[in-house]
Amino acid sequence: MKKLNVSIIIITIILVLGINSVYAVSTKKTNSTNASVQTNEINSEEAKEERANKNLSSLEVEGYNLNPYFNKNNSIYTVIIPKDVTSIDINAEPEATGAIVRVSGNTKLTKSENTVSIRVTSEDGTSKVYTINVLKEPEVNLKLTSLQIEGIDLEPVFDSDIFYYTSSLEDTELKSLNVNALANEKNANIEITGADNLVDGENLINIIVSNDEEKTVYQVNLDVDMLGEKEKEKDNVITRLRKIINYSLLGFAGFLLFIVFILVIVLIRKIVKNKKHKHHIDER
């Protein structure tokens, strides 16, 4: 009878382990099949999105700056060119390899305001149009003779006849910038907007020079990275700590399971031993 009880216990343990193994294999196969189906669905969806993709990955006007900076989701831009320029070269690359890009309106720029269209046609036949408003620099008498913004370098270098600039400010917590500007007329009024309350990303600083008869606007498109690499490094450290904690918890859980298994074995042996001892007493 004792041997039978021990055998039953051992068989029960083997059955439980066997069932768990079969279930694990079955679950693995099911998960593998589901994962394969999901992968096929994802690939199919990605192919569909690729065929319908009519975004540009880059857009440039050779020798000039786009305002604002290029963003595939923004379809309207402005470029300022000298009054004697009659054509511009456009570099436009589509995101999808099968998409076609056509540029029109970039020649015969004779008006003070001109429109250039960049049409992107996707593989599925749908299209999207990016527009560049090309403005000729006006003939102005009222100008700046100098422009300095503390902490940044202008691109291109300041010139009285260049009215649009770009710059960047990285790894900063600055919320405002000091702008020093001088006009070619002593009594001209200089108004500055956009240099205060800076935000992470694009900021447009306007330097407006005016008198009773004329108004001239200089612009600086400033790209601000408020926390820069320090914040990225902080995020990486937090991610690593989370991984360490997760692995530690998994290891601790495995250790607890091992202890429980040992305790079960000890308990079974103790029960068997007690039964043997009791049977010995009964026989006496």
Percent of the chain with pLDDT over 90: 44
What mean pLDDT is reported for the chain?
Answer: 82
Taking only the tens place, the pLDDT of each residue in 74-130 is: 999 999 898 889 999 999 999 999 999 999 999 999 998 999 999 999 999 999 999
Query: Can you tell me the mean pLDDT for 34-42?
Result: 60
171 and 208 housed in the same domain: yes
Determine whether 18 is exposed, middle or buried from the number of CB atoms within 10 Å of its CB (0-12, 13-18, 19+).
exposed
1-27 confidence digits (pLDDT tens): 544 455 555 555 655 555 555 445 455
Residue 134 lies in a domain: yes
Residues 68 and 114 in one domain: yes
CATH of the domain at 202: 2.60.40
Q: Are residues 214 and 165 in the same domain?
A: yes
What pLDDT score was predicted for residue 261? 77
Segment 207-262, tens digit of pLDDT: 999 999 888 989 999 999 887 555 555 656 666 777 777 777 777 777 777 787 78
Give the CA distances from residue 258 to residues 21, 114, 131, 145, 266, in Å, rounded to whole numbers and listed in that order: 17, 76, 67, 79, 12
Alpha-carbon dihedral 35, 36, 42, 45, rounded to 10 degrees: -140
Q: Do 82 and 149 reside in the same domain of the chain?
A: no
**What CA–CA distance (Å, rounded) separates 67 from 33?**
50
Residues 81 and 114 in one domain: yes
Q: Of the candidates 120, 139, 158, which is a domain's last residue?
A: 139
- State the residue range of the domain holding 112: 51-139
Same domain, 94 and 166: no
Cα angle: 36, vertex 42, 43; to 5 degrees: 90
Is 238 part of any domain? no
